[in-house]
Chain A
């Protein structure tokens, strides 16, 4: 028995209307044969059947609008079924080569981010009330059968399983290049991108984005004349521009910074990075350490994790950490939800997953909204210290720059240590200099004194 579900016509589409059933109850249907037609906004489509067999029950009549994932009909199968039972056509296949939803925009690397605009950001709507809840996500393991290639090769990191499920990669067909033939993230991504991408890639899918950025009249097509190239402002660029400007308009930005001795973290990282990479399939960077330390400090000083709403202040005792990620079209700020419930390892996995999918333009709309604080990390690009713009409607943003060896004075002796500047842009409407300094000192203390080793379980 196969359940037919309302398919997803893209990341931003949350519901659809049944226009027409092309089969009646009791009729037989072939795999991939058109079964029904749906309409979403101004796009209609016919939907192929996910299984062959007899259409035994139609649960949603023509003309009804239901949310994605809603069960629409039941097919009593004769065996043939699409590789995934997740829903008609909604199963994993080639990676969507289009960006997911309106990218949260942010400044160029080093200047922080701005996911959503004060108040106008639209979280992904919840399923319509009364509508059946979309089925829980198919478990990754179920969607991606494990290969049987000896005990060693069966060790798959959660990331690899998830990526495989998302991209519809059959892991049994992937040749692992990691230690002992293990399948790594890159193996999965390579397998996923092997078939030629069929969808266009040029413009971000800014569905639902405000029409605020309008292409300005351009005097001439992109042509080089007199040493100038005149091109239209790309959509993402325009959104970034608008949100950055708006942030400066609404907030009273002030700034300070601390210098942190990262020797403790650097040594641990040096010691564990190979084992970590072998086990997790991605590199252990400084970012999870900083994120973990900042998360604790936000819980200790929640006003830094607050939001000004009219004449009220929403003080948040949970942490959804925005992580500014640069990608080819600009910057996006995916949000690590519930960072305060994660240990270092969870944070590292979460950040790697979000960053990977941000660059692959495969984020879900709800993953770029709802942040309570943002960290931007221009360090890899060589920046010494930065002055980020606050990601509205948050009240502060941390800039995490280059970790490098510097001569420092310790106990009246000059020593060489891994040092970094952590800077904080904060909204003086909510935060004063004393609080900002206390907060930064807490982050500094956490990084300099915590023993992160046990969190990594290596």
Chain B
């Protein structure tokens, strides 16, 4: 079995840092360096807009968003506008899909990881026939958006609502769906299901679905890697 790298920083990581780091990992992976990696983290409140976002998905103005203490980033992943913040487990798998990537299969795997992990805490989730993501009835529990670097290495990933304050989603129409609501594992389970509870479960299910093994869990955020070489 392949071994993989699991990075799960203890505290929330600003979106820009995580975004830059995952691109760095992906570049390395493209060069054939490093291992397939799963980053599991929480972000401070941030709205991210994918390439296919339409302006009218934002209900709040940028000004309102900033006043509420959140950031807004326009980024390079597939999918539309979404929210990340406290209580939400965000997973960034940086995985080499090979030179003939089964891109949708990767998305389906991410869904599978989340479905199995939710089942582990007694919550039954499912896919939608028409929309990427993981759902409970008509309510979205986990958003998924993926980009491939150089048609080969995956970037971005999934965002699983654990104890997320769902009022953050009032600012946007999630994924451009209109009228489609969101929910969280805690709401569905009828108890508090925290990010800390879910992270190891998700990591284990990820190992299973992606057929790899994490040898250890890195709790420190590897900021050093971000520092450009002097001179």
A39 to B148, CA, bound (A): 10
Contact (A44, B77) CB under 8 Å given A202-B109, A215-B115, A219-B122? yes
Contact with B along A177-207 (1 / 0, CB 8 A): 0000000000000000000011111111111
A205-B104, A207-B108 known; A89-B151 Cβ under 8 A: yes
- Whether a CB of chain B sits under 8 angstroms from the CB of A232 is yes
B65 interface contact, C-beta 8 A: no
B112 in the interface, Cβ–Cβ < 8 Å? yes
Interface pair B125/A215, CB less than 8 Å apart: yes
Q: Does B112 lie within 8 Å of A235, measured CB to CB?
A: yes
Query: Do A40 and B116 form a contact, CB below 8 Å, given A34-B150, A219-B122?
Result: no
A45 within 8 A of B: yes
Q: Is A278 an interface residue (CB 8 A)?
A: no
Question: Which A residues touch B72, using CB under 8 A?
Answer: none
Contact B99 A94 (CB under 8 A): yes
B103, B124, B204: the one contacting A10 at CB < 8 Å is B103
Complex CA gap A451/B82 in Å reads 67
Contact with B along A271-303 (1 / 0, CB 8 A): 000000000000000000000000000000000
What A residues does B52 contact at CB under 8 A?
39
- The tally of residues in B whose CB lies under 8 Å from a CB in A reads 54
Complex alpha-carbon distance, A10 and B106, angstroms: 10
Judge if A214 is at the interface, Cβ distance under 8 Å: yes
Binary B-proximity of A1-31 (CB < 8 A = 1, otherwise 0): 0000001111111000001000000000000
B91 at the binding interface (Cβ < 8 Å): no
> Is the contact region of chain A dominated by helix, strand, or loop, or is it mixed?
loop
| A43 interface contact, C-beta 8 A | yes
Q: In the assembled complex, which residues on chain A have CB atoms less than 8 Å from the CB atom of B151?
A: 7, 9, 45-48, 88-89
A221-B108 in contact (CB<8A): no
Cα distance A202–B93 in the bound complex, in angstroms: 15
Q: A220: nearest residue on chain B (CB-CB)?
A: B120
Interface string of A60-73 (1 = CB under 8 A from B): 00000000000000
Q: Which residue of A lies closest to B150 (CB)?
A: A48
CB pair B116–A93 under 8 Å, yes or no, is no
Closest 9 CB pairs of A and B: A205-B105, A45-B148, A93-B99, A10-B102, A214-B126, A207-B104, A9-B103, A200-B210, A44-B78
B interface, CB within 8 angstroms of A: 36, 50-52, 76-79, 95-109, 112, 115-116, 118-120, 122-129, 132, 144-152, 201, 204, 208-212
With A46-B148, A211-B129 given, can you name 4 additional A-B contacts, CB distance below 8 Å? A9-B151, A10-B102, A12-B105, A46-B150
